[in-house]
Amino acid sequence: MDRSFRIYLWLAFGITWGFGGLGLLAGAYGPDAAFPASRALHYVACFGPSLAGLIMVGSVDGRAGLRRLLARTIPARSRWPWYVAVMIGFPAANLVAAWFLAPEFLAGLHAWDRLLYLLPLTLVLDTGPLGEEFGWRGFALPRLLRHFHPLSAALVLGAIWWAWHLPTFFISTLSQSELSIPVFLINSLALSVIMTWMYQRTGGDLLLMILIHTAANYCGAIGVPFNVEVSTEVACAAVIVAGGGLRSRTSSADHMHPSGGEACRDVL
């Protein structure tokens, strides 16, 4: 793996674990923590992967690289079916799975108007999609795909993604503390396979990566049991792998610039 990727990992983990550790010492994760100084450390930590990605793209590819990276977040007309499938199809698949695997969950489900309201709210309030995807799928994945088979790249990035979250399992006020570490690893690997497949199919559409991360977190926000969500993701990932979706490197991603951006986009 090239030196820029290794530096990226040091930055992503260093920013998150460094500022997160400072926030822990400052009381940012206590039950009565106020927002100002200590909570600011928490938000910097949450944006570690994206901050590291932006720093590295700017360092390696300059302003042109940053423009290409940001251009990948502009909606493309040809990608609307993907956006709809992710924002509607992904939660719907989880709800159907919950109907079979945990029917008791449906009895306490929010009203439909509240479900729709929570979807954009997740994107705004959840730090994960914007705080991570400019790094994981913006900087790291394009470089992994240049060195590894797509399935291997997906699994490597999924394992890194899981490892980055590890400290959160030991902080009682964070949602990950309620989850199983091994099951979260399976979740990270399966979701990484799905996202890598979509990444290749759409020429590295970063907006789609942000949206699927949002949709996955949204399912947790509305109370879909984590084991149900993981089961759904594993099933989707298994279908992709079995169908040869990540069999070779032949995809639109092969024609992208090293920073992950296409030469031209059919944008709105």
Per domain, the residue ranges of the chain are 76-255
**pLDDT over 80 (residue 263):** no
| Per-residue pLDDT tens over the stretch 136-173 | 999 999 999 999 999 999 999 999 999 999 999 998 88
**Which ranges of 137-254 would DSSP assign to H, the alpha helix?**
141-147, 150-165, 181-201, 206-221, 226-242
pLDDT of residue 75: 93
pTM: 0.88
- Report which residue type is found at 120: P
pLDDT of residue 253: 43
